Amino acid sequence: MREVKRFYLLLHPRPAYLIGSGRLGERANFMAASWVTPIAEEPPLVGVAIGADSYTRELIDAYGEFTINVLPMDKLDVIYYAGSRSGREEDKTAVIRARRGEAVQAPVAEDAIGVIECRVRTKVEAQDVVFYVGEVVAARAREDVFDERRGWASSKVDIPLHNWGRGFYGLGRLRLAKAAGGEE
Ligand SMILES: Cc1cc2nc3c(=O)[nH]c(=O)nc-3n(C[C@H](O)[C@H](O)[C@H](O)COP(=O)(O)O)c2cc1C
């Protein structure tokens, strides 16, 4: 084995999501994020690592809420757009159709097939990044592509996995490597 400096590459590919922040009608924004993780089921907590210089960080600090939006592979261009421009320079909600969350006022992407709405419970400042621990106050998914027992129906929907220099994979490809016993 050789030494790895960019250790986080070892933890990719990871799904890429849209983080919604702010409040529609005031200041609202979406950014792409793949450093997103469940933390606990009870209480329901999720963590997101957000660049300290990002507009998203500013809005999460201002409003104390965010949403995690799962987009299908065919909306990869939206994820890429949200991840390559800053909301400080342009209003990304003018391009990415949005509505208000149900339990929070942060924006939710119309194209999302799954949404987790969060209120910030605590945060860890780590110089370049702020890691927000969010309490999940609502979560829902499109029922034609997700069910509570088996999760995403990978035969019907593909979720983008971000693999840095190698671009994105679709979750569907991983079906080839699915462990025996999986149902589909
Ligand atoms: C696929 C992908 C995943 C990303 N993951 C993260 C992430 O987990 N955390 C982060 O801070 N930035 C991440 N970024 C970069 C931000 O999306 C990017 O810096 C964005 O322009 C910030 O937007 P904002 O200033 O409007 O908040 C990612 C970008 C892409 C394309």
Protein residues with CB under 6 Å of any ligand 1 atom = 16, 29, 31-35, 49-51, 54-56, 79-80, 83-88, 162
Beta bridge partners, 175, equal none
Determine whether 143 is exposed, middle or buried from the number of CB atoms within 10 Å of its CB (0-12, 13-18, 19+).
Answer: exposed
User: What's this model's pTM, rounded to 2 decimal places?
Assistant: 0.94
User: Which atom of ligand 1 is nearest the CA belonging to 59?
Assistant: 27
Measured in Å, residue 33 CA sits from the centre of ligand 1 at: 5
The predicted-structure confidence for 60-72, as pLDDT tens digits, reads as follows 999 999 999 999 9
Q: Which atom of ligand 1 is nearest to the CA of 48?
A: 8
Provide the β-strand partners of residue 36.
48
Q: How far is the CA of 96 from the centre of ligand 1 (A)?
A: 15
What pLDDT, on the 0 to 100 scale, is given for residue 173?
A: 53
| Beta strands 17-22; 28-33: pairing state | antiparallel
Cβ atoms of 30 and 94 within 8 Å: the answer is no
Ligand 1 centroid distance, CA of 22 (Å): 16
Taking residue 125's Cβ as centre, other Cβ atoms within 10 Å add up to 9
Q: What is the pLDDT of residue 165?
A: 75
For the CA of 56, the nearest atom of ligand 1: 27
pLDDT at 75: 94
Q: What is the pLDDT of residue 23?
A: 97
Tally the C-alpha atoms within 13 A of residue 100's C-alpha that lie toward its C-beta.
Answer: 9
What's the 179 CA to ligand 1 centre distance in angstroms? 31
Cα-to-centroid distance, 159 and ligand 1 (Å): 17
Overall average pLDDT of the 22-51 stretch:
97
Q: How far apart are CA 39 and CA 90, in angstroms?
A: 32
Q: Which amino acid residue places its CA nearest to atom 13 of ligand 1?
A: 33
Domains of the chain (ranges; CATH) run: 13-171 (2.30.110.10)
Q: Is the pLDDT of residue 182 over 90?
A: no
Ligand 1 atom nearest residue 85's Cα: 21
pLDDT at 29 over 80: yes
Q: What is the pLDDT of residues 106-153, one digit of tens each?
A: 999 999 999 999 999 999 999 999 999 999 999 999 999 999 998 998
Q: What is the DSSP letter of 83?
A: H
pLDDT at 40 over 90: yes
Tell me, in angstroms, the distance from the centre of ligand 1 to residue 59's CA: 14
pLDDT of 183 strictly over 60:
no
**Predicted confidence (pLDDT) per residue in 75-115, tens digit:** 999 999 999 999 999 999 999 999 999 999 999 999 999 99
Amino acid code (one letter) for 181:
G
Listed residue (88, 102, 87) closest to 19, CA to CA: 87
Given a cut of 90, is residue 166 above it in pLDDT? no
CA distance 162 to 156: 20
d(CA 13, CA 161): 5
